[in-house]
């Protein structure tokens, strides 16, 4: 199962105004565009903004900005997506980020948040350069309580699935996950052998590929 495959089972993207928050280099923004969405890719990191601009066609609005202060007009979006980015927002401003989501969504608009769990073969390797146990746990707790409160958002669907990514070599993993972040790279340099060893042990080669698996949950809300 992929993020966009799951999302399209819940929401028709054709001709919809969709904001991809914490878009990174724009991998999922590109997939949203392929489904016919009119995409705004919002990213806090200026280097990634440049990467997303290079990747995406000029039809996408690629904007430097933050979830807690979105560069989007009131009531302008049909759907807001957070793919593995919600737990990166500082906990102190999560409430602001949710208020911003309410502000920019049209009446009845959707909020789609996919968050990784703190387990799985991908997590087992990544935790050696950055342990996200606490932030991921806290993020799932917040989204679950948002669903229970039912004040600003109504939970339409919650689905658990596993995202699988292919890393043909350890070098591919390093370039995509470690080198992009100076802090992770520094930790890697001090613990190279153990991290490569963990990568080799975690890698799933059972079907002839080279895969790491990341279990996650997708929370799909409508704004009240
Ligand atoms: C794990 S990456 C996910 C990137 C992309 N969504 C994907 O799944 O490939 C998390 C992204 O969130 C961005 N980010 C962190 N804090 C943010 C904030 N407050 N507002 C917007 N983006 C943020 C990071 O710079 C990073 O690109």
Nearest to 94 by CA among 152, 139, 133, 130: 139
Of 44, 82, 135, the one to substitute when testing ligand 1's pocket (max ligand atoms within 8 A of C-beta) is 44
What pLDDT does residue 180 have? 82
- Residue 148 C-alpha to ligand 1 middle, in angstroms? 26
Of the candidates 33, 1, 35, 38, the residue with the CA atom closest to the CA atom of residue 17: 38
Q: Is 14 exposed, middle or buried (0-12, 13-18, 19+ CB in 10 A)?
A: exposed
> What is the predicted pLDDT for the residue at 166?
96
The alpha carbon of 156 and the centre of ligand 1 are apart by a number of angstroms equal to 24
pLDDT at 181: 86
Rounded Cα distance, 160 and 205, in Å: 23
Cα(112) to centroid(ligand 1), Å: 15
| pLDDT score, position 194 | 96
Q: What is the whole-number distance in angstroms between the Cα of residue 125 and the centre of ligand 1?
A: 19
How many angstroms is it from 41 CA to the middle of ligand 1?
10
State how far the alpha carbon of 45 is from the alpha carbons of 22, 62, 79, in Å. 9, 12, 22
Identify the segments of the chain with pLDDT beneath 50.
Answer: none
Distance from C-alpha of 7 to C-alpha of 136, rounded to nearest angstrom: 21
User: Which residue minimizes the CA distance to atom 12 of ligand 1?
Assistant: 22
- Ligand 1 pocket mutation, candidates 88, 122, 136, 178, criterion most atoms within 8 A of CB: 88
pTM of the model: 0.96
In this predicted structure, what is the pLDDT of residue 62? 98
Closest-CA residue, ligand 1 atom 23, reads: 22
- Residues within 6 Å of ligand 1 by CB: 21-24, 27-28, 42-45, 48, 66-68, 83-85, 88-89
Whole-number Å distance between alpha carbons of 181 and 15:
35
43 Cα to the center of ligand 1, angstroms: 6
Q: Please list the residues that pair with 18 across neighbouring strands.
A: 39, 79
Q: Cβ neighbours of residue 64 under 8 Å, at least 6 residues apart? A: 42, 43, 44, 46, 49, 71
Within its chain, how far is the Cα of 188 from the centroid? 23
CA 10, 14, 17, 19 torsion-angle sign:
positive
Q: How far is the CA of 82 from the centre of ligand 1 (A)?
A: 8
Longest CA–CA span in the chain (Å) reads 52
- Where do the domains of the chain lie? 3-117+132-162+216-223
Q: How far apart are the first and last CA of the chain?
A: 29
CATH architecture of 3-117+132-162+216-223: 3-Layer(aba) Sandwich (3.40)
Counting atoms of ligand 1 from 1, which one is nearest the CA of 68?
19
Closest residue by Cα to atom 15, ligand 1, is: 88
């Amino acid at each position: 199962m992929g993020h966009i495959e799951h999302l399209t089972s819940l929401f028709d993207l054709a001709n919809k105004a969709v904001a991809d928050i914490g878009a990174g280099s724009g991998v999922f923004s590109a997939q949203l565009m392929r489904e016919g969405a009119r995409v705004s890719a919002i990213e806090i990191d200026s280097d990634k903004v440049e990467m997303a601009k290079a990747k995406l066609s000029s039809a996408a609005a690629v904007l430097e900005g933050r979830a807690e202060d979105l560069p989007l007009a009131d009531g302008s979006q049909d759907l807001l997506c957070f793919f593995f980015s919600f737990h990166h927002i500082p906990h102190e401003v999560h409430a602001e980020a949710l208020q911003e989501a309410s502000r920019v969504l049209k009446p009845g608009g959707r909020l789609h948040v996919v968050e990784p769990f703190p387990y799985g073969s991908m997590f087992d390797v990544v935790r050696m350069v950055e342990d996200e146990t606490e932030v991921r746990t806290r993020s799932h707790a917040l989204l679950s309580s948002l669903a229970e409160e039912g004040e600003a958002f109504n939970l339409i669907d919650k689905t658990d699935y596993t995202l699988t990514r292919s890393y043909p070599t350890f070098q591919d993993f390093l370039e995509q996950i470690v080198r992009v972040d100076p802090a992770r790279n520094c930790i890697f340099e001090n613990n190279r052998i153990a991290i490569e060893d963990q990568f080799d042990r975690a890698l799933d080669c059972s079907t002839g590929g080279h895969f790491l698996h990341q279990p996650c949950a997708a929370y799909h809300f409508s704004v009240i």
